[in-house]
Amino acid sequence: MNQKQSFSSAYGWFIQRITGILLAFFLIVHINVLHFGEKFFIDFNMVTQRLEGSFLWAIFYIIFIPVVLFHGLNGIWGLVEDYRPSQGAQKTVKVLLWILGIVGTFYGILAITPFL
């Protein structure tokens, strides 16, 4: 392993821990508000009212989306590394995961921006 690979692995490991901590916070808030709130029936109108009524909820989800995607896709990358695929397979999977993460983040934030 060269120094560049070592740095990127350490960076990925560190960010995985940070996003894990953030996910714990986001999930506690998300579950408490949506599942233990006053209304037990969640529909599009309820979500629309919540997002249009508070800029903070939009910011919450704009941060939540990339955190979830990075944490999940980096976890998948960790599983791929466990199987020690060839360099070509590693590069292919890494590119696919990056594309999925960028497109997913873009699409998720795009879905929230009309409510800002």
pLDDT digits (tens, 9 = 90+) for 21-34: 999 999 999 888 87
Query: In Å, what is the CA distance from 75 to each residue of 52, 82, 84?
Result: 33, 11, 15
pLDDT recorded at residue 110 = 95
- State the CB neighbour count (10 A cutoff) for residue 69: 19
- pLDDT score, position 23: 96
Residue 3's pLDDT band, with cuts at 50, 70 and 90, is low
User: Could you tell me the pTM of the whole model?
Assistant: 0.82
Q: Where are the domains of the chain?
A: 3-115
pLDDT at 73: 96
* pLDDT at 25 (0 to 100): 96
Looking at residues 82-110, what average pLDDT do you find? 95
pLDDT exceeds cutoff 80 at 37: no
> Tokens in use for 108?
């998720």
The set of residues, in sequence order, having a beta carbon less than 8 Å from that of 73 and lying 6+ positions away, is 97, 100, 101
Out of 1.20.1300.10, 1.10.357.10, 3.40.50.150, 2.60.120.430, the CATH code matching 3-115 is 1.20.1300.10
